[in-house]
Amino acid sequence: MKSDSILERIQLKLNESDPSNRTLTNIFIFHFKDADGNFIKSVVLDLKNLKVFDGSIENPDVEINVSDDDFYLVGTKQISFDNLIETGKVQVNGNQTAFQKMLEKFRLNA
């Protein structure tokens, strides 16, 4: 998956985080699809435990459906998450406040 390198970079950033100095401790699950809209895999971004891992988790705070290609473009700063939302290329369910806080983190690291 193209986005694997982006997910690895996110994990490296989490490894550098100070667990006692966090403003976001939610759990996000990304459901990745291919260019044809077929499911590829799910990845959990657990900001509570500072981990990124393949798989699923019950009751995440936010579920995000996005294509591998689009997430890769966000991770390589070729497009913003905001643009994906505006164009309907990403679907978000769950805690919208947590999602907006995560987006702010993406913007700060852009």
In the chain, the domains with their CATH numbers are: 4-108 (3.30.1050.10)
Cα 56–94–105 angle (5° rounding)?
Answer: 85
Convert the pLDDT of each residue in 21-69 to its tens digit: 888 999 999 999 999 999 999 999 999 999 999 999 999 999 999 999 9
Convert the pLDDT of each residue in 69-110 to its tens digit: 999 999 898 998 889 999 999 999 999 999 999 988 776 555
Task: Find the distance separating the first CA and the last CA of the chain, reported in whole Å.
Answer: 21
- What is the predicted pLDDT for the residue at 19? 83
| Beta carbons of 94 and 62 less than 8 angstroms apart | yes
- What is the predicted pLDDT for the residue at 107? 66
Which pTM was predicted? Answer: 0.92
